[in-house]
Amino acid sequence: MNTTIWAPRALTALRIVAALLFIEHAAMKFLQFPAPVPGMTYPLPTILIVAGAIEVITSVLMIIGFQTRIAAFVASGEMAAAYFMAHAPQTFWPVLNMGEPAILFCFIFLYVAAAGGGALTLDNARRVAAQ
């Protein structure tokens, strides 16, 4: 099996699936779909409106593969901030402070920011079309 063929495709799948899961958090904030954020009061505090906007914008950009590295870097930073602002103050252990998803999103998006979007991106299509 030639990993040079499959690795960029797997990176594409990771990018798209992670972004689809990420946008779900914005849907819960803004649309209360598939359910409202547990324990959240509405109207949302400004910081959660900003977080939701970042989640929508960066997710859409990562799904289509446009400006993928920048979007992933911003999303990674949001998740780092979310962890240290909302989860870490509760207790040190991520399994106890419910911060595991934030940590995983942070490092997945950091990897995408470093590695790029994979084989199938709008950025790659634009580059090929420009040649």
Q: Counting beta carbons within 10 angstroms of the beta carbon of residue 2, is it exposed (0 to 12), middle (13 to 18) or buried (19 or more)? A: exposed
Determine the structural domain holding residue 114 and report its residue range: 3-130
Residue 39 has a pLDDT of: 86
Residue 131 has a pLDDT of: 83
Please name the residue that has the structure tokens 């940590």.
103
Among the listed residues 93, 107, 100, the one whose alpha carbon sits nearest the alpha carbon of residue 18: 107
Query: How many folded domains does the chain comprise?
Result: 1
Residue 1 has a pLDDT of: 64
Per-residue pLDDT of 93-104, as tens digits, reads 999 999 999 999
- What's the pTM value of the predicted model, to 2 decimals? 0.93
The rounded average pLDDT for each run of 10 residues, N- to C-terminus, in the chain (131 residues) is: 85 98 97 91 93 98 97 98 97 96 98 96 90 83
